[in-house]
Amino acid sequence: GIQVEQSPPDLILQEGANSTLRCNFSDSVNNLQWFHQNPWGQLINLFYIPSGTKQNGRLSATTVATERYSLLYISSSQTTDSGVYFCAVDDYKLSFGAGTTVTVRA
Amino acid sequence: GAVVSQHPSWVICKSGTSVKIECRSLDFQATTMFWYRQFPKQSLMLMATSNEGSKATYEQGVEKDKFLINHASLTLSTLTVTSAHPEDSSFYICSASGGEGTLGQPQHFGDGTRLSIL
């Protein structure tokens, strides 16, 4: 199956800082999704982004399908951004990366 | 839109009992539903894929007789953990997609069920 690698595994930010999370995948995919899992376990859809760039408030994502990677940008981070960020690629089923644990300190 | 409801949110029960978890798509028809399992500080692992009206497809290493999946309608799938034991304790999450398989369709996730077997 497709291998999905996320980096960095952990990220500690001061409130207000910007950051970039990366997702590399090993083969062509039909789709890619970014999720935020909050401390209660809820998995929130952030982006459905097979290619190109999308923005939603302080978050934006870019997928370069030909080079098999995607980036998630968090700007002006807030403590509520803390949690685990997963990317998942769609090859007839979703394969998840190991996640990036983000901690935003006030 | 695209809301998926999962119940119960958490369950504590004795070893040997069976536990049923429901996953409902509230505002769309879910042709395909998925069940995932997540251990603490790990990623989500797909257990099985179910299409309405047909048998579920289980991932390698998942016991189909242990984890019974039923997808009887376009809005409801159930996962029954039979004769649960402490090693079955985990966080179970369902998702639903409105398309054939997942091709071109995003998956929408329920809030998960924390299962603790004593």
**β-sheet bridge partners, residue A64:** A69
Position B101 scores a pLDDT of 46
CA torsion, points A68, A48, A90, A72, in degrees to nearest 10? 40
Segments in chain B below pLDDT 50: 100-102
Q: Of residues B6 and A30, which shows the higher confidence score?
A: B6
| Closest to B111 (Cα-Cα) out of B1, B10, B30 | B10
Position B106 scores a pLDDT of 80
Question: Tens of pLDDT along A38-83?
Answer: 988 999 999 999 999 999 999 999 999 999 999 999 999 999 999 9
CB-closest option in B43, B104, B111 to A98: B43
Q: What is the DSSP string of B8-65?
A: -SEEEE-TT--EEEEEEESSS--SEEEEEEE-TTS--EEEEEEETTS--EEPTT--TT
Kindly state whether A22 is in contact with chain B, defined as any CB-CB distance less than 8 angstroms.
Answer: no
Coil/strand/helix, residue A38: coil
B-chain residues near A43 (CB < 8 A): 44, 93, 109, 112
Position A59 scores a pLDDT of 97
